[in-house]
Amino acid sequence: MKNQVYLYPIWVRLWHLLNALLFLTLIVTGLSLQYSSNDYSLIRFDWAISIHDIAGIALCVAYIFYLFSNRFTSNGTYYQFHLTGMLVRVLKQLRYYSIGIFKNEDAPYPISIDRKFNPLQKISYVIVMYVFMPIIVITGTALFFPEILPTDLFGISGIHIVDLIHIVTGFALSIFMAVHIYFCTIGKTALANFKSMINGWH
C-alpha cells in the first residue's frame, strides 16, 4: 500500500453505494411518473409510485446517516472550505481539467490525506450534499404528506409549486450524477477512482 492513502472509510463506501443505487431507482421511477400517459408508461403507474416512495424514504434515512457521520467523524473536515480565494482555486482546477491535463501538467491540487477533494470536487459536493439534497428531501417529504401543504400559494396550488421545485432539483441532481461519473473517470486510470470507492484506498 506504498504511496496509497486510505480515503474512503467503510461507512462512506456503503452509504455511497446505497445512495447511488437509490438515486438510479428514483431517476428511473421519477422519469416514468413524469412522462407516463394513459397509452404508455415505462413502469406501471401505481408500481412506479410505490417504488419511488420506498426509495425516497430510504434515501432520506441514508442522507440523515450521512449528515450525522460527516458531523461526528473526520470525514466532515474534507467538506470545510474558506470562501477567500475559492473562485481562483476552482478556476485553476477547471483550467487544469480543460487544458493542463492534455499537456501532461501536474494536478494543481493533488489528492493527499489532508486534501481528499480538489476545489471543484469540494464545491460541487458541498452544493449537492448541503443545498440540493436538503431541497429534494424536504420537498419529497412534503409531497408524501400533501395535506400539510397550503392549497393556495400566490394563486397557485401549494402542491404544484413544491412538485415543480422537486422535479427541477431532481433533474439538476441527475445532471450532477452524469457529470460526477464523467469526472470520476479522470484519475490515474479511467477506473482508478471507482476502485478507490470499492476498496477505500486512493
How would you class 97 by CB atoms within 10 Å of its CB: exposed for 0-12, middle for 13-18, buried for 19 or more? middle
Q: Which of 5, 11, 18, 20 binds ligand HEM (CB under 6 A)?
A: 20
Verify binding: residue 25, ligand HEM, rule CB under 6 A. Answer: no
Q: Which of 129, 142, 165, 167 binds ligand HEM (CB under 6 A)?
A: 129
Q: Which of 25, 138, 184, 200 binds ligand HEM (CB under 6 A)?
A: 184
Minimum distance of ligand HEM from residue 73's CB (angstroms):
10
Maximum distance among all alpha carbons in the chain? Answer: 63
Answer whether 166's CB lies under 8 Å from 139's CB. Answer: yes
3-state class percentages of the chain: helix first, strand second, coil last, to nearest 5:
70, 0, 30
The cell numbers describing 201, all together, are: 484506498
Q: Which of 127, 194, 199, 201 binds ligand HEM (CB under 6 A)?
A: 194
Residues 50-109 touching ligand HEM, rule: CB under 6 A, are 75
Of residues 32 and 169, the one with the C-beta less far from ligand HEM: 169
Query: 185-189 — which CB contacts under 8 Å span 24+ positions?
Result: 186/97, 186/101
Binding site for ligand HEM (CB under 6 A): 8, 12, 16, 19-20, 23, 75, 121, 125, 128-129, 173, 177, 180-181, 184, 193-194, 196-197
